[in-house]
Structure 1
């Protein structure tokens, strides 16, 4: 069905008014923000999304809040770097090749992951990635071989390993996604300037940058990561997202600086302390909350006890 043509008189009038109002708006914005450049396509699209949200009517056909959030995440997808997302070194589940095949099977069962980096000698010397599909296929082939007398404990690991993609922390995640797609790999190891393992990024991490957190059957529920243990007392996993913590306790913990740098409780506490706080140490938050480290090691905080301000209980 063809759209009705716009009358010429209306078209020219609308165009003139639109050009004039557009110039007026740009001049006003430059005066307020100090910007003297034309907005980029990204800025224009984000402004249009925000305007649509402001003008949306209940029950209308406009984009939903979820769709708007995903679109804005896509617009900023290219700004993030590999070192800013994924799993930090201290939380990486890794396997020492010298531990043997049964230990690898046990690790897959306990960790609930489908892929695990394998190292030899030290944790910075990652020699490959073990995939659970290859591991169990290897087991099946071994027990189907009627003439094989190889004991299960001595099944070799090295032949199962897949190549690992190593990337610098400064790589843009949009480029990382392209590399992972081209290499048909779902995992990348982020390395520091000395070539040591600094973190791990999966395809799921990249997708979550657009759609938000994706929880599967192996993820711990965030509700279980925070529990009340007394009046004005809570215990929490250091990996608890700040957004979930703030929603549960009805308190704003992350100011602009914190929100830009970290997104977990443990990261915020380390940032407030200026280092990794020791076991038993307490860190005060400007809001009056106190965070006590009840489990951890020199590399990372694992669990904390949260003390509410005196006036809150």
Structure 2
């Protein structure tokens, strides 16, 4: 699709069922899913199993003559003990990127909306037994707050894990930093508060999911969009933004940030583009009294550039 003068493509790395929906969107009631089953299924929810369905994908933006990638997925050949589903994943992601007309050397900017394993994986690839930048000509934009938070040298500053599962996540984050973040720091810009990429694209801090979680705003001509990363994992969080995901570092702050971003999107006509929505992947949001509703899913122009398959 085109938003103003910016071309937007979606390249899918993986999609499918991940875990029980009420585990992913913590505290969400049964009715929130069942009452909306007619449109949540099959892309976002499996009513037979109660499972959450989502996608891991990269948004490719062509803006002012440059190629910008928004988030880089899980990556191949990674040790990911914290989520066995994606441990040593092997997908033809780079081939899919090429099918969309993008070679690694064509990429000018890589945006990591935050540092979690499924947003930084293809920052690097394994070459001769070592992790190296996958996009050799790109500048990597990483929120400084996240780089500081997840840097192993600062691990002592983080709250102690509350249980074994949280400890596994903490240990996993060390692996993520080592194979997907540290190798690109020499090509990275660590930004704070806001960062303008070009005349169409601006990054803004949106903390809660992680300390450095961010959104990318697109404004071109009359077109508006906001790429929200993991502020939204499921469309039910548009209907009930008070429910944060189980992956949020600060669920309360994440909920407040999510509501603020949705308010601005609804008032300013910004297309909401999350990282993990399957199906169309983006939605127009409107106010519904004190809450929000999905007005319509984003239209696409022509066939999908890349087949949606595992």
Q: What TM-score results when the alignment is normalised by the length of structure 2?
A: 0.26
- Where is the helix percentage greater, Structure 1 or Structure 2? 1
- Where is the strand percentage greater, Structure 1 or Structure 2? 2
Q: What TM-score results when the alignment is normalised by the length of structure 1?
A: 0.25
- The one of the two structures with greater contact order (alpha-carbon pairs below 8 A, sep at least 6) is 2
